Amino acid sequence: MSSLPLTPIRDLLTQDCPGSMHITDDAIIALRDSLEDIIQYIGYESVKEFERLNRNRKQQGLRRLKRLNSWSIERAVQKIINGETISYIGSRSAMIENLGDIVHKHENVTKPKTTPYHELVGMD
């Protein structure tokens, strides 16, 4: 049984949709199910972050926290967003070949000596 209501999800989704676009009930239900999965995953990662926080606090001689705090949630979300867990989403850059065979350590790869701008335009 799902616990998230459909109406607020529909309202949030329609905020950025043009007025002529209609959203089906199936789309709203699919979004709700996905949101519930994401919330569960964030909860799982948040507990891991919270336990790590308490281990660090113990090493510093501080008391253990008993309530899951916002820092743990935010840390888990950033870890999920910036981590490899969602690297399959979005566009990918083209594969870049290893230039190890082309550029060797003994070669000079900096830009060549150039004339300073103020000498080109005649400024003192």
Domains and CATH numbers, the chain: 6-91 (1.10.20)
Pairwise pLDDT comparison (59 vs 106), residue with the higher score: 59
Whether pLDDT at 121 is above 80: no
Q: What was the pLDDT predicted at 65?
A: 94
What would the mean pLDDT of 55-72 be, rounded to a whole number? 94
Which pLDDT score is estimated for 82?
83
pLDDT at residue 19 above 60? yes
**pLDDT at position 104:** 57
Packing angle, helices 70-82 and 25-59, rounded to 10: 110
Average pLDDT over residues 91-115: 58
Q: Using CB atoms within 10 A of its CB, is residue 73 exposed (0-12), middle (13-18) or buried (19+)?
A: middle
Question: What's the pLDDT score for residue 81?
Answer: 86
Can you give the pLDDT at residue 2? 74
Q: In this model, does residue 115 exceed pLDDT 80? A: no
Residue 55's pLDDT is: 95
Between CA 90 and CA 107 the distance in angstroms is 37
